[in-house]
Every structure is written in structure tokens, then in C-alpha cells.
Amino acid sequence: MAIRFSFKYFLFNAFRELFLYHHSSLEFRAKLFAALISADNEANECEFDVVKEAGMKIYNDEDRSNTLVLTTREMVEKVLKNNGLDIDALVEDIIRDLRSVPRYALKIDLDQLEPLLTCQDDPDVTAYQESILRLFGELRSEFVSA
């Protein structure tokens, strides 16, 4: 069962542009979660449990929720392993997406992102995450009112 699960989601992840309806919207949400999770130099399962729970609230579909978790995990790994992406580039990419598709600002839901702060014990990392959340709130306000 576990092999079938991981193979199915590996295929979904590898070919999400083909298999998933509105894959770019899901990727935008994954970038939001990944930016907050990447504020720390390590990610733990608590954060991905929060993403899974948020995905179920957003999509009410376990497959899409799992795909959101996998996409978020992939982005976090790229940032943490310095694999061509850092947190600044990720935030710039979010801003570029908002400029291209301003309606994505409606997908910035601070209530779904804030629970990630509870997974953190380090006050410095929490402060950094709060700054990122404020930025996301400002971006939402800017692009929703535009």
C-alpha cells in the first residue's frame, strides 16, 4: 500500500502540469507555505501536518491536499539544500506571480499560514516568519485593492 501511495504521488508530482487542474494555483499556495517553513534551516513534520490540514480545508480532497504537501516539501528542500532556490528568490517569485495573476492575492490566507508559527520554538525564526506573514498580508491588500 505504501509503495502504491508513493508511486502515485511521485507521478502526480512529476507530471502535475498534466494531471492537475489549476496546478499553478496549487504551486502558488505551496510557495507561500514553503517561504514560511524555509525561514528555519530545518523543516519538521509539524509544518507539513499544518500544510496537509490547510490543504484539506482548501480543497476538501485528499489527493490535492497530499499534492500540496509534496509540492511544498519539494520547494522547501530546494531552499534548504541551496538547490537553485533561496528564500529571497522564492518571495520574489511569489511577487512575480501576483503581478502576472493578481487574483492569486485572494489565495493568501493568513489564517491558514499562521499555524506554522506554532511549530517553531526559536523566537528569532518566529520573528522572521511573522515578518514574512506581514509581507504576505501587505501583498494581499495591495493586489486585492488594485
Write down the pLDDT at residue 20: 47
In angstroms, the CA 122 to CA 140 distance is: 27
Contact 38, 53 (CB under 8 A): no
Write down the pLDDT at residue 16: 47
Query: Which residue blocks in the chain are alpha helix, DSSP H?
Result: 2-14, 16-19, 23-37, 45-59, 62-80, 87-100, 110-113, 123-145
Low-confidence stretches of the chain (pLDDT beneath 70): 1-22, 146
Write down the pLDDT at residue 145: 79
Write down the pLDDT at residue 1: 40
Q: What is the dihedral of CA 16, 75, 95, 124, to 10 degrees?
A: 150
Write down the pLDDT at residue 85: 78
